[in-house]
Amino acid sequence: MSNQLVSYSKKGAIGVITVDNPPVNALGVVVRKGLMDGIASAEKDDVKAVVLICAGRTFIAGADITEFGKPPQEPGLHPALDSIEGCSKPVIAAIHGTALGGGLEVALSCHYRCAVAAAKLGLPEVKLGLIPGAGGTQRLPRVVGVEQALKMISTGEPIGAKEARERGLVDELVEGDLLEGALAFAQKIVDEKRPLVKISARDEKVKGTDPKLFAAIRSGLNKSSRGFEAPMHCVDAVEAAATLPFAEGMKREREIFVKAHDSVQSRAQRHIFFAERAANKIPDVPSDTPIMPIKHAAVLGAGTMGGGIAMNFANAGVPVYLLDSSQELIDKGIGIITKNYAGTVAKGRLSQEAMDKCLSLIKPTLSYDSFKDVDMVIEAVFEEMDIKKEVFKKLDAVCKPTCIMASNTSTLDVNEIAAVTSRPQQVIGMHFFSPANVMKLLEVVRGAKTSKEVLATTMAVAKTIKKVAAVVGVCDGFVGNRMIHPYAREAGFLLEEGALPQDVDRVLYDYGMAMGPFAMGDLAGLDVGWRIRKRKGVPAGKRHSKVADALCEDGRYGQKTQKGWYLYEQGSRTPVPDPSVEAIILREAEAAGITRRKISDEEILERCLYALVNEGAYILEEGFAQRASDIDVIYTFGYGYPVYRGGPMFWADSIGLKKVYERICEFQKIHGDDWKPAPLLKKLAEEGKTFTG
């Protein structure tokens, strides 16, 4: 027996089913049918046992994502697993790479499991707003125990093969060639006449589970997974494994799976999953565009941002120069980097050896001449156009012709920066988010003359340094910061009109944001926006809240001064409402002639988030974002937008663009042309369409 993806062969007295569906041996319909056909062949053959193994770099790593959202094709996974577990001969899973999701469920349906030490096993469905749907929630607790199963399933984090062996999930660790080891293990099972171990028939590790365990896990998840529904669904399903016979537990798992699958949260999380992958695709840049090798990088500016950027390259094994204007600034920057690494070592997430290796890759320098042979240099100096232009003139003079010259600007015109060089095609924006060594988002700013090779290479670099990248165009603030302006604008106006900072922040936090706009402002530093406002000025005739300026004039810059929108007592990061801020708000509202009123939570949410959506629609229409899902990626990975909402554009789709458009029209009548609806939003609302398809 064989089809194009699954083959059956004999190795002496052992049958071998081989899955070969690159790149990750996904469980598509052809693979599922092949597994059933392979078991049928083994049943007819004179073999004594069966080894299930995968070709390529990994065991079955999960479902076939190309089948997501499409009508199910038979055979489904359940019949395939039933055929494996029901085989009259021992079936041994031979695992390398990753056995994830449906892949681990396949392994759990086998009678035994062996693995190489480097293998990882897990059920990550919760990260897509789902639960394992083919017996994973019922079989895993019967093998590793309820508490460990709850941990694995509710977090989606895999465990290594050695730990899996200790917990009984893996029966044998294989050294050397996996197939040879698996065949030897299978022969051992035959020789010792070991029984067929059907996990579905086991209950010794689930029987008598204390119900208090589930209450404790749920309480912990309320804190660690705030707002997410899927982790709670996982607990419900595992609880069924501990309280119901296997067949009834499987029915309960199916009910919960369907409920989770059909939820808005799961659709949102799946949207972000695909949006992250789509963001790598640039319509006019062919996939075979040459990628320039980046063997040596450089960062200009050893401050918090520059140091964090340098760490990204060192973490990826790329040597990187770090330049600043004085030894004092260099020493301070290296000190912060060392402290950051040491903190990670202290938490057990990095070895001392790895830390030393990373530090050795960061080469401090005071001279631009060090950059003459680097492949990429990223400028991370003060956010002032004149300073950046001066830096790029120096880089242009010293860097080799093929060097990519990137600016970490968050708002400035990349085309204006590129224009001071003799090679604007080599200039690009790389907007990292702070702290740069932690935050995953990278806005890749495509200049008017940026070459396709430079753009493709920069996207490849983003992947190398483990960033989620989205391409944006050159406009004030690009995508993320341009959209945050109307969001913050409305938050400020709401204060004048009747709300307090803690009211606005509570509503946005409860919606799922990592923090509200005022707590976020205190964290970032209120003086940053103040400097920008003073530089740009306020357009004549435009409404402008002076409350934030008044705070800064009073020396309230946020956490750095222990007071901003809130008080921060003795270095604490916990915001405490401050009556003196309320007094400033009341004073400024009176000076602006505004009569304060009671503002509902609903209005707070709509004013802030609909402003975000409307600006996103303008950005899309003007071509500064490639697609709506890129905006969702930017907000999810860069601005603390809840992944279970799917980003602002998906969220607007989920509640209906007609509703959003009509409410924005109402706000325009009340508050003026700051609320003029984007033509694209109007068009889609009238046509009954969506941003994200």
Q: Which residues are catalytic?
A: 105, 125
Rounded CA-CA distance 61/23 in Å is 9
Beta bridge partners of 2: 7
527 contact partners, CB below 8 Å, separation of at least 6: 552, 557, 558
HEC assignment per residue over 387-407? HHHHHHHHHHHHCCCCCEEEE
- In the three-class reduction of DSSP (H, G, I as helix; E, B as strand; rest coil), residue 46 is classed as coil
Q: Which has the closest alpha carbon to 493: 417, 579, 410, 606?
A: 606
* Distinct helix (H) and strand (E) counts, the chain: 28, 19
| Gap between the Cα atoms of 142 and 138, Å rounded | 7
Distances (CA, A) of 440 to 321, 348, 633: 22, 21, 10
Compute φ and ψ for 319, nearest 5 degrees.
Answer: -60, 140
Contact 593, 472 (CB under 8 A): no
Asked if residue 424 lies in contact with residue 449, where contact means CB atoms within 8 angstroms, the answer is: yes
The residue behind tokens 């079989």 is 139
Distances in Å between the Cα of 195 and the Cα atoms of 90, 143, 187, 198 are: 8, 16, 13, 9
**Which SS3 state, helix, strand or coil, does residue 279 take?**
coil
295 exposed, middle or buried (CB, 10 Å; 0-12, 13-18, 19+)? exposed
Q: Sign of torsion, CA 144 145 151 155?
A: positive
Rounded to whole angstroms, how far apart are CA atoms 304 and 297? 18
Rounded to an integer, what distance in angstroms lies between the CA atom of residue 265 and that of residue 646? 8
CA dist., res. 151 & res. 169, Å (int): 14
CA nearest neighbour of 653 among 613, 602, 611, 606: 613
What single-letter DSSP state applies at residue 594? Answer: P
Contacts of 461 (CB under 8 A, 6+ apart): 294, 376
Of the candidates 28, 44, 145, 158, which has an alpha carbon nearest to the alpha carbon of residue 95?
A: 158
Q: C-alpha distances in angstroms, 518 versus 97, 411, 425, 591? A: 45, 20, 39, 22
Q: Is the dihedral of CA 587, 592, 598, 600 positive or negative?
A: negative
Give me the residue label for tokens 């940053």.
528
Beta-strand ranges (E) seen in 326-392 are: 362-365, 376-379
